[in-house]
Structure 1
């Protein structure tokens, strides 16, 4: 028995591709994609273009996995550059396969299925490549979250398509995410994968958590269909201000303890929830979620500060808000320190001066 029933095959003939996009970068890339497809022979099958890009993407990602099988080792810089180049080639070929199909009059439901099927596999390898490039294996649970989130977002995008009948791309979507991944690889090329160490000692390492705060703050306010910032400026700024305070406190602790500063932070889960809610077309009212996130980040920063203060107090044997009376020193020692010792010192000086005269 086959995978598709006769009914499914008949309905497949009636399928019409529907897509809506407000991507910021797609219009900028159209000239490159149109030029590239014009260089292709009219005898070149669109699906062959798609599979070629996928194979290149998989091979370049596996090179990184070879040098860092558990995503903990530092990978060669040339391998990161190769992976970035492989993703750019895949992106370009993936963008022109549909153009080639329309150009050659060979558009079919198979082409759409083949394209999205290759995208689903590419998502897995792109995620693994990023993990190796930034050494995310040093935090295995974050690595698990990142990879699972990538494939989940891809699935949910097509779930939305299944329900609405139209594949929708937002202003910041696949193309922008791919360029973001390429930028990560190129940073690893310039500074080395050690730059992304989750406990970085680099002078630039504190910049990364700041970017994690500023980027979501700007994007969420910009993309909000409910004008989340303009309608709730105090709560919005309080939310991201508390996240910034949390990260700043960790920077101060890292400085005072001469230790490394981790990039990941539990307070970033709040902005992440707002971002994901927008990605799924706001199933939760944005204002309601903002208030929940605000409460969470306030709790998180208070909890962190409390724990740090208590741990330091316990270690130094001091109190936070009170002064513990100290036992006065023994009288003998006190007189020696404050009286006889000082007197003998000055007497010695006086005698020395007298002798000199």
Structure 2
């Protein structure tokens, strides 16, 4: 059964897609730091592993970890469990690593194609939504819905503009502060959210222990007045 009566792409668009050559320039600060890690990682992959499979696995990990946050804080107003924030930070790091090596794997296996690049960037566009959402939940931005909308809108607009520029110029350009730096910043935000929650929990526990210790030392005084403190 034919779902569409007309072709999704014209002959001219199909011809341009087949002639497309991937071109990228980057002056990113962190890309240079992470390149050795990405190179080491891709060399550990088997040759038979398809680049598109790497892409979709990274996307699924990012989506699943974000949905866990959504489950515990659907309105982005309540505090999500710290382990969920840790998991989301780890998921984003795994996604970032897999997204960086899928193209390397394609060139390594001589399977690079315009369709593979289109699939990669299509998954990136989906991931952008979930990354923005997880960031809002981690900092409980639901208390400020206008800022939450603005943050999500900016993330998607920047992604669109970057690929619009690529469409016009034929070259994907990454600046000194770009997507890698943004992802690392979000990972740090999620880790800080989890660590601060843990620190507050420890402080509450220590305060309770201190109070109980003081109360225990002062029991004789309270007994004299007929009162017994409880912890």
Please, what TM-score do these two structures have when normalized by structure 2?
0.82
Is 1:63 the counterpart of 2:68? The answer is: yes
* 1:109 equivalent in structure 2: 114
How far apart are the structure 2 equivalents of 1:46 and 1:157? Answer: 23
Is 1:79 the counterpart of 2:84? The answer is: yes
**Contact 1:75/1:193 (<8 A) preserved:** no
* 2:16 equivalent in structure 1: 11
Q: What displacement does 1:192 show?
A: 2.1
The alignment partner of 2:160 has SS state of helix
**Contact 1:57/1:125 (<8 A) preserved:** yes
Q: What displacement does 1:7 show?
A: 2.2
* 1:54 equivalent in structure 2: 59
What is the correspondence of 1:298-337 to structure 2 with a 5 Å cutoff? none
Selected match of 1:173 from 172, 178, 199:
178
Selected match of 2:148 from 143, 150, 153:
143
Is 1:28 the counterpart of 2:39? The answer is: no
Give per-residue Cα distances to partners, 1:305-336, cap 9 Å, x unaligned: xxxxxxxxxxxxxxxxxxxxxxxxxxxxxxxx
Selected match of 1:152 from 134, 148, 157:
157
What is the correspondence of 1:93-104 to structure 2 with a 5 Å cutoff? 93-104=98-109
How far apart are the structure 2 equivalents of 1:158 and 1:69? Answer: 31
* 1:119 equivalent in structure 2: 124
Give the total of aligned pairs.
195
Q: What displacement does 1:194 show?
A: 11
Selected match of 2:136 from 131, 134, 148:
131
Which structure has the bigger radius of gyration?
1
The alignment partner of 2:42 has SS state of helix
Gaps (5+ residues) in structure 2? 1-5, 201-231
How far apart are the structure 2 equivalents of 1:8 and 1:159? Answer: 16
Give per-residue Cα distances to partners, 1:221-273, cap 9 Å, x unaligned: xxxxxxxxxxxxxxxxxxxxxxxxxxxxxxxxxxxxxxxxxxxxxxxxxxxxx
How far apart are the structure 2 equivalents of 1:153 and 1:12? Answer: 23
Runs of 4+ in 1 over 6 A off after TM superposition: none
How far apart are the structure 1 equivalents of 2:172 and 2:64? Answer: 28
How far apart are the structure 1 equivalents of 2:144 and 2:199? Answer: 14
Q: What displacement does 1:160 show?
A: 1.3
How far apart are the structure 2 equivalents of 1:149 and 1:139? Answer: 16
1:140 to 1:47, Cα distance in 2 relative to 1, 3 A:
same
Question: Quick one: higher RCO (CA 8 Å, sep 6+), 1 or 2?
Answer: 2
Gaps (5+ residues) in structure 1? 196-357
